Homo-oligomer: A and B are copies of this chain.
Amino acid sequence: MEMAAGGRARRRFMERLSLSGLGGLGMGAMSALGATPVQAATGSEVRQWDGETDLLVMGSGAAGMAAAIEGARQGLEVTVLEKFQLAGGSSSLSGGVCYMGGGTPLQKALGFDDSVENMYHYLVAAAGVHAEPARIQLYCEGSLAHFDWLNELGVRYATRFSSDKELSHGADSLYYSGGEQTWPFREQAKPAPRGHVPPAHNQTGGRELMKLMHAAAARLGVKVQLRMSAEQLIRASDGRVIGLVVEDAAGQRLNLRARRGVVLAAGGFIHNRPMLQRYAPELASSQPAWGRAGDLGMGILMGLGAGGNLLRMDHGFAVLPLYPSEEVLKGVVVNRFGQRFINEDAYYGGMGHAWLFQQQGHGFLVVDGDSDYPGPDYRFTLAAEAASIEALETALKLPPGALVNTVGYYNQHAARGEDPQFRKQTKYLATLTKPPFKAYDLTVGKAFCTVHTFGGLEIDLDGRVLDGWGSAIPGLYAAGRTSASLPVAPYLASGLSIGDGTFFGRRAGAHAAGKGA
């Protein structure tokens, strides 16, 4: 991409802002207002283009880079615009898990059977009423090819399986990253581990994945420009998206033309409080927000301003991480009525959803001397500690007898290795009998529960942004958490967001190149 000097362009841009009635209010100020969509500029008003390429990608996380790489592989000239000094987006903060299955080489090498059907049935079951079967089917059928695609980029998995529920701190590359082995899903689809992690220590797989993707992109000639903040879409008079207004590190405004399209891959809106309050008040009530500082909803707002339709804006990922250590899963999680409400070994996204959306963010984790955290737990504060369940119940001000009842019933069956109510896996069943008994406080606002958004622009199976009519907006794509795609609440498994972003990001890049992925 060729860049012209920005001074004159900036002046013209500001003039245009004035002409269009925005007065002295710059776009940066507009976005700071919160849930205010950013209206697209009209191409006929652009008197000078400061650069031109085939495909412009907003955001350098996994979704954006997948679109960029695939576009470049298929012959497009591609520029990625990254607002920050550091590339990689929220993907680089993540574990880098990619949810793949159907019999990947890694699954096979580690002796796990899987099939497209099993993977499909798990995802459909876990997505419940919010499942988009056609999208899930495409994702499952394309999973082996997606594994190969990542392999070609240089992503190599270690032939090491971890049986831990949480992403390994070592360099293991395959694990059960969702609720495949837990009830009720284990009855609906044959379990298989599908969380594929680039080998990395201390859960830095996301950083590794992004390094590899950026290196692959560089080899393909993709330009990644840092500290370039996309601010506004530019549309032709026929509605086609033909470019972006961006602000460079010096504060200069530039009009960049995109001959084949623009991909919005700028993350979700977890850091935009007004948007969160308006669309997802439950998520707004929890903390901390999970995501890099750029998750301000800018991509979503820009797409909305161009006529894009929004879906599932109330959905998100609420991670209530009881584990590790998995020892505590032998305890019970109870609501404010002293009742259990979910199997404690549920995937932590399922646990977080049940707790935040169905129990209004109330509850306690109750453990005994054998099932307590090995050390003081930084995530949850101690609500009470007592020598008996009766005393613990009193200290927690639970309904009299309720917790005693719950633990009594639980112990009676756990002693036989059974959990007839919630069907927790046998390995997490143990009687709670050894003092001291402790209750950790799972009250929203006090408990550590990271949240992230899933709602965004409606896209078709090629990543094209759809307007309210269900028609694709020409030249406009979205991927990752800027779009509403595979991840729905309760979240289905770790690695599904990266998996979705890279899979449908790829398809967006391919579509922009006029070819299939």
Contacts and interface: CB of A to CB of B under 8 A. Distances in A.
Nearest to A283: B129
B282 A129 contact: yes
Interface stretch (A31-39, A89-97, A157-165, A502-510): A31-39
A278 B358 CA distance: 22
A305 B468 contact: yes
A400 to B, nearest CB: 5
A6 to B, nearest CB: 27
Interface in A195-242: none
B469 A305 contact: yes
Given A402-B409, A409-B401, A285 B39 contact: no
Contact of A470 (B36, B399, B470): B36
A474 to B, nearest CB: 14
Contacts of A39: 469
A421 interface: yes
A468 B304 contact: yes
A130 interface: yes
Interface string A352-370: 0000011010000000000
A314 interface: yes
A62 to B, nearest CB: 27
Contact of A36 (B35, B37, B282, B469): B469
Contacts of A305: 468-469
A422 interface: yes
B405 A420 contact: no
A281 interface: yes
A337 interface: yes
A409 B405 contact: yes
Number of copies: 2
Interface string A286-321: 000000000000000000110000110010000000
Contacts of A470: 35-36
A285 B142 CA distance: 30
B337 A422 contact: yes
A285 B129 contact: yes
Contacts of A357: 358
Contacts of A425: none
Interface string A405-443: 100010011000000111000000000000000000000
Nearest to A280: B129
Contacts of A304: 468
Contacts of A284: 129
A479 to B, nearest CB: 21
Contacts of A314: 314
A219 to B, nearest CB: 40
Interface string A458-501: 00000000001110000000000000000000000000000000
A340 B281 CA distance: 27
A281 B130 contact: yes
A310 B469 CA distance: 14
A468 B30 CA distance: 13
Contacts of A35: 470
A42 interface: no
Contacts of A339: 339, 421
25 contacts: A36-B469, A36-B470, A37-B469, A39-B469, A128-B360, A129-B281, A129-B282, A129-B284, A129-B285, A130-B281, A278-B311, A304-B468, A305-B468, A305-B469, A310-B310, A314-B314, A357-B358, A358-B358, A399-B421, A400-B420, A401-B413, A401-B420, A402-B420, A405-B405, A405-B409
The 8 residue pairs across chains A and B that have the minimum distance between CB atoms: A399-B420, A129-B281, A358-B358, A37-B468, A399-B421, A337-B421, A304-B468, A339-B339
